[in-house]
Structure 1
């Protein structure tokens, strides 16, 4: 019987999924991180159009998923040649208990 690997099909072709552990953005609040890279238009169980952000935190490469518009807009505005960069993740409450996140 053949193995899937024998077919030469790359299921991750053109995908940057970042083979590093996942960390919750909540764990990064008020922490300085090094933003290494990101990928757009990721669909998760929480919905479409999420971003996956590859970071370095406390010397370890990790990734987090976000749908926070301020972070997505900020990442889109940073030229790829300016990566990596340092940032701090801050929370912003709105509409009662809801919150979003942004970089400083």
Structure 2
């Protein structure tokens, strides 16, 4: 399945956000893959961030990652940089962007 998400980086923290993503911990990358994600891409337009996640089951992915210490640490770091954060709670599974059009 494909899930598109929207988050927002703080205007004064863009450089830190991009630097953080050049150094995503390998333990987190492995955990994301183990939770069922085959791909996760983030695009930035100004402060707007658009994520496309390809995974087996998004709700299961969130549940697997929500309580992992490496993800908790990463999300705490991201919370300092973002105005709109990625929701890893059970409610977050319904937070994907609706499809407006597809070819």
TM over 0.5: no
Greater radius of gyration (CA):
1
With a CA cutoff of 8 Å and minimum separation of 6, indicate the structure with the bigger relative contact order. 2
Normalised TM-score (structure 2):
0.26
Structure with the higher fraction of residues in helix conformation: 2
Normalised TM-score (structure 1):
0.26
